[in-house]
Amino acid sequence: MDPDSRPRAREYHLIESNRGNIAVSIDGLSDTIELNQSALDILRLCNGKNVVSDIAKQLAENYGIQVGSISRDVDHCVEILAAIGAIDPFDVVCVVSDRFEFICLLLPKNASSTLREELRRDIYESREHRYTTISPEIRNRYYTFAALREPISRLLSAYQEVSYRFELTSMGQSGRDFFTMKDTPARFKRFLSELGSACWDIHLLPQARLLSGVRVDQFFHVERIQDGMSNVFERLNMGKCPTLPVSRSRGARAEDLGYRRYMIKPDDLDQSSLSFIERVYEADIRLLRELEYSHGIR
């Protein structure tokens, strides 16, 4: 777990107690989960403001014990809560400009490298923040925008990302068997079976969950990022929008380091895979459809 992450519990409801455990219903999950009192206390402290170390300190204070004796257990518990979908452990990174008063949300696999490369130039007098660390006054006043991506395309790109990263570093997720399989259609099928709530890697997390509780003024499709950013520049009187850069690191990775080895095209997916992906990312599909009307994106 990233020590700087600020895990946020999803909406939950307590059902009943059973032999010391508490049954909890998590919004969006079909099955209830059972937590002991310590795990429930940790869940309650996952408010999107506390970093994991803050949770450990608060828990140690409540129990009257040394924080060092529980830090590792708290970290492990947060990872488990994330894996089963009880919390969103990831916080959106964004670029903030005080000169032009904007917040650009950098959603993973949504042209975040391109947006970062352009908007972190000195001319914008910008800096990077985690969204939850920005003051409420700034969040409400600055113009906030983000790029959205069609969910199936985004997932296939994320599959490349997590597979390639494991290939380079041998750092994957314990219990994710697909990482060690040969690159075959069966590997992708296993990946889908282990996708679960998609909480175990930020590149897989649905866009709708990353945007939960975030006020956004404008969305645009990744596929039309130049037009979308031109609208932002015009709206904020920033002059003519330059031609946006293409991430050089990603291009080099694709050509020189075998990133394309894990490429899967939408046409390669059978109907069962498509249906499964659509169920997992139902909220993203719904979000895009709604925004086509309310924001006029195409």
- For residues 140 and 216, membership in a common domain is answered with yes
Among 88, 103, 123, residue at a domain's last position:
88
Q: Residue 58: inside a domain, yes or no?
A: yes
Structure confidence at residue 255 (pLDDT): 46
Q: Choose among 31, 13, 3: nearest CA to 196.
A: 31
Structure confidence at residue 168 (pLDDT): 60
- For residues 82 and 100, membership in a common domain is answered with no
Question: What's the DSSP call for residue 67?
Answer: G
CATH of the domain at 22: 1.10.10
Per the CB < 8 A criterion, the answer to whether 228 and 157 are in contact is: no
- For residues 24 and 107, membership in a common domain is answered with no
Q: Residue 117: inside a domain, yes or no?
A: yes
| E strand map for 56-182 | 87-88, 93-97, 102-106, 126-130, 143-148
Per the CB < 8 A criterion, the answer to whether 271 and 138 are in contact is: no
- For residues 69 and 141, membership in a common domain is answered with no
Query: In terms of residue numbers, what domain contains 51?
Result: 8-88
Please give the structure tokens belonging to residue 204: 């897989």
Structure confidence at residue 114 (pLDDT): 93
**Element at 126 (helix H, strand E):** strand 126-130
Structure confidence at residue 3 (pLDDT): 55
Give the chain's domain count. 2
- For residues 13 and 140, membership in a common domain is answered with no
End-to-end CA distance of the chain: 36
Structure confidence at residue 27 (pLDDT): 77
Q: Choose among 1, 298, 248: nearest CA to 116.
A: 248
Mean pLDDT by 10 residues, the chain (298 residues): 69 78 79 85 89 90 91 81 71 92 95 92 92 90 96 91 69 60 82 71 84 90 92 96 70 51 84 91 88 61
Structure confidence at residue 251 (pLDDT): 44
Per the CB < 8 A criterion, the answer to whether 72 and 107 are in contact is: no
Structure confidence at residue 78 (pLDDT): 82
- For residues 207 and 127, membership in a common domain is answered with yes
Structure confidence at residue 264 (pLDDT): 84
Q: Residue 282: inside a domain, yes or no?
A: yes
- For residues 23 and 68, membership in a common domain is answered with yes
Structure confidence at residue 100 (pLDDT): 97
> 57: Cβ–Cβ under 8 A, 6 or more apart, which residues?
67
Q: Using DSSP, state whether 104 is helix, strand or coil.
A: strand
- For residues 74 and 199, membership in a common domain is answered with no
CA distance 166 to 19: 41
- For residues 83 and 102, membership in a common domain is answered with no
- For residues 234 and 265, membership in a common domain is answered with yes
